[in-house]
Chains A and B, each alone.
Chain A
Amino acid sequence: MFTAGNLRRGQGSIVGAAFILLILLTSYTFYTFHVEVTNGYVNTLQEMQELDIKRDKESVEFISASFTSQDELNITVENTGSYQTHLIWLGIFDETTNNQDYIKIDYYVDPAEKMSGIGNETIATFGEQERVIQLVTELGNTFSYSYPEEKAGDGGDAQSSVTITGMCSTAVYNPSRWDLLGSTQDVSGSASDLDSNDGNYSVFRSYLSSSSETNTTILDDGFEGTPWDTNWDSASSSWYSSSWQKHSGSYSARSSNGNEGYFVCDDLDASDADAIYVDFWYRLESTEESDLRLYYYNSQNYILIERIGGGTEDTWLHYSDKITDAQYFKSDFRIRFYSNLGWNEDVWVDDVLIKKEVGSEEYTAEVEFTGSSNLEDWTRLDWEIDSCWDIGEVTVTIQFYDYTLGIYAPSGDGYTNYISDATPGTDEPKSQTITLNPTDFQNSTGHWKVKIRGVKSTSTQFEMKIDWIAFQPVYSSSGDSIPYNVWQEYAVKATTGDGDPIPYAYVSIYANGTNVVFRDAITKESVSNPDWGYLNAEGEYHLEILSAHESTETFVLYVVAGSVVGQKTITQEEPG
């Protein structure tokens, strides 16, 4: 039953619920706001921390500072830090007069980049007067340089030094795999056999790439020449030239009563023939079948082929034959006519045409080899391939893939072709140096490929034998970073405080990398780590270093001459 008490309780509940809801909403709003403000603050702190880290890793080294012939200040710097540097102020301090000048500049220098020409803004020349030059970066770092450069020996406190400099380096890469092209067959060997020129071959078998038949004329005679029987004079004959009857031209060969017997062509080379085509025209007058006979010579005997004296008279008759009997495929193949004529009997022969059909086969072996390399700044590319063939005189084509053109090099750089030695199995090293755009022969990941193709017209299947394929990019390197498992040369030089070389001294060498090995850059002989090196007359020792750690690793190369320590930090790159 509805009463006033019930009404009050109901109203009280609604009002209470409304206030609870408002309190909850207010709390939530306050919480959300708090979180948002806190997150914003944390983001700001993170952003500034990143900037601080970047600033700590920023490093710029002065290479030189001088005035040009136009009295413009020319500063050269190198960014030796990890990030791009933005130079924003150039300070020139004259410490004797306490004069400070700052000039606004705007240069971006990428990591490892050397930049010249800084400072050629309007700066009054100060010749050889001493100044402190300061470069200020956007990240808040300053780098100073005392001008002019203090030379060793100045001030009497110069010290001996040991410097370690990265040299141009050559990396040698061999194929890691191959792909058979056409129907070339894999016979034996593996990719590792291609790593050195040691007589261990990877062998591939050629395939029949084409076959064809060619007809070659070996006799074409209408008896028009001088002498008329120049192709029929190896055996004496009483046949004679006649202009009375002729199938074409002005003359034919004629036999008549009293001028009869054999009429034999000279030797025809049909030794390589698969078939011989004999074709001629003849004319009969008053003859019987046996009055004119045709023979073929098989190098031993004349074989009677047909008696042709019994045909239609007083007209030109056509004779055509295809010889497939191999007994006639000789180097002295001949045809012979024999006439036996009585009174008023005549025969004429004209337009003799004999062809041989020669079959030809061509075998091809072609393989594409693929390898990897590095992405350094190549200055040159050398390649070397050593191969041989188990048959002589193969036409060989070597083509490296030009990734800029998108095709195998058709000529010039990355291409060579030759006829292999006539003696089967003769090793033939081929090489080439590419100085123009060598990086055309690698793709964006440093991979390369080369196609080797051998072709020969022969009926014999032959084999391609590849001993060594070396892809050798030469690149300039500061030596600060080296590719995985690649030798890098360093020049160690010890000098006195006056800059003179320290000759014939021993230096200790050591690198603290996990898997670092040394070798002498000249003799290529292995050197222990640590070990001693012997400076030459110029106070130099050339060392090669190879690091093969399974991941990126930074290590330090220490070279100590007496009490003077030279060191270089080297980073081995990620294995490719």
Chain B
Amino acid sequence: MLNGERAVSEVIASLILLLIVSVLGASLYSYTLTVTEFQQNTLQGEVQREAERAQERFRVIAVGWSGSGDLLNLTILNYGKLDIQIDDVYVNSERVTDFHAGRGEKTYTSRLRQLSFNSPVSISDGNKYEIVVVSDRGVSHVHSWES
């Protein structure tokens, strides 16, 4: 009992409580929605990347070597569903750093791309080499080549 002290009426008090609950609820929902959208976008992005990786198909169809030196010419065929670009090449697990042509250039589907580079591994006649070609989406193709 208030014993005659002044106070807000019960109606006003109810409205104030309702306002507080609504504001808190809306804030909580908004936060949840933001988190959910973020998760959705993350999921969609991941799946999209995986789908794109799955649609990538390329392979080395020819390796050119003059018989001396370390200059190699790879001919790469893009037979997948998406355009690709080659970002990295490894020879016997050694990363190629000295590219002459072809790296980072877009290769359309059903088209060929010449990659020219100096092998980080010395090339000699009659040896076998494992050449790994990596695309910008992280898809790799392993090609065994005997010089």
Instruction: Tell me if B32 and A15 are in contact (CB < 8 A).
Output: no
Question: B interface, by DSSP: helix, strand, loop or mixed?
Answer: helix
Q: Name the CB-closest residue of A to B45.
A: A37
Question: Which of A134-142, A146-154, A290-298 touches B?
Answer: A134-142
Q: Which of A19, A38, A48 contacts B55 (CB 8 A)?
A: A48
B52 to chain A, nearest CB (A): 9
Q: What are the interface flags for B25-56 relative to A under an 8 Å C-beta threshold, 1 for contact and 0 otherwise?
A: 10001001100100110011001001100110
With contact pairs A34-B43, A102-B112, A138-B110 given, residues A91 and B62 touching in the complex (Cβ less than 8 Å) = yes
A518 sits at the interface (CB 8 A): no
Instruction: Tell me if B79 and A139 are in contact (CB < 8 A).
Output: yes
Question: Which of A4-12, A244-252, A258-266, A472-480 touches B?
Answer: A4-12
Residues of chain A lying within 8 A (CB to CB) of residue B21: 12, 15
Q: Name the CB-closest residue of B to A94.
A: B64
Q: Which residues in window 64-118 of B have CB below 8 A to A?
A: 64-67, 73, 75, 77, 79, 81, 110, 112
- What interface size band does chain A fall in? 35 or more
Question: A interface, by DSSP: helix, strand, loop or mixed?
Answer: helix
Residues of chain B lying within 8 A (CB to CB) of residue A26: 32-33, 36
Instruction: Tell me if A98 and B62 are in contact (CB < 8 A).
Output: no
A126 sits at the interface (CB 8 A): no
Instruction: Tell me if B110 and A45 are in contact (CB < 8 A).
Output: no
Instruction: Tell me if A11 and B18 are in contact (CB < 8 A).
Output: yes
Instruction: Tell me if A48 and B54 are in contact (CB < 8 A).
Output: yes
17 A-B pairs (CB sep. < 8 Å)? A4-B10, A15-B18, A22-B29, A23-B32, A26-B32, A34-B40, A40-B51, A41-B47, A41-B54, A44-B54, A45-B54, A48-B55, A89-B77, A98-B66, A100-B64, A136-B77, A140-B79
| A358–B101 alpha-carbon span in the complex (Å) | 106
Q: Which of B36, B39, B55, B61 contacts A91 (CB 8 A)?
A: B61
- What interface size band does chain B fall in? 35 or more
Instruction: Tell me if A7 and B14 are in contact (CB < 8 A).
Output: yes
Q: Which of B25, B33, B79 contacts A15 (CB 8 A)?
A: B25
| A89–B11 alpha-carbon span in the complex (Å) | 84
B59 sits at the interface (CB 8 A): yes
B17 sits at the interface (CB 8 A): yes
Instruction: Tell me if B75 and A102 are in contact (CB < 8 A).
Output: yes
| A3–B75 alpha-carbon span in the complex (Å) | 85
| A93–B77 alpha-carbon span in the complex (Å) | 16
Instruction: Tell me if B11 and A4 are in contact (CB < 8 A).
Output: yes
Instruction: Tell me if A15 and B22 are in contact (CB < 8 A).
Output: yes
Q: Which of B14, B29, B47, B59 contacts A40 (CB 8 A)?
A: B47
A546 sits at the interface (CB 8 A): no
Q: Name the CB-closest residue of B to A7.
A: B14
| A136–B51 alpha-carbon span in the complex (Å) | 25
Instruction: Tell me if B62 and A93 are in contact (CB < 8 A).
Output: yes
A139 to chain B, nearest CB (A): 6
Instruction: Tell me if A30 and B36 are in contact (CB < 8 A).
Output: yes
Instruction: Tell me if B25 and A19 are in contact (CB < 8 A).
Output: yes
B84 to chain A, nearest CB (A): 13
**Across chains A and B, which 6 residue pairs bring their CB atoms closest together, nearest first?**
A4-B10, A140-B79, A44-B51, A98-B66, A98-B64, A37-B47
B44 to chain A, nearest CB (A): 6
Residues of chain B lying within 8 A (CB to CB) of residue A8: 14, 17-18
A88 sits at the interface (CB 8 A): yes
Q: Which of A4, A15, A30, A140 has the most chain B CB within a 10 Å cutoff? A: A140
Residues of chain A lying within 8 A (CB to CB) of residue B57: 48, 51, 140
Instruction: Tell me if B77 and A140 are in contact (CB < 8 A).
Output: yes
Q: Which residues in window 249-296 of A have CB below 8 A to B?
A: none
Residues of chain A lying within 8 A (CB to CB) of residue B77: 89, 136, 140, 142
A9 to chain B, nearest CB (A): 10
Instruction: Tell me if B47 and A38 are in contact (CB < 8 A).
Output: yes
With contact pairs A7-B14, A41-B50, A48-B55 given, residues A30 and B40 touching in the complex (Cβ less than 8 Å) = yes
Q: Which of B14, B25, B55, B65 has the most chain A CB within a 10 Å cutoff? A: B14
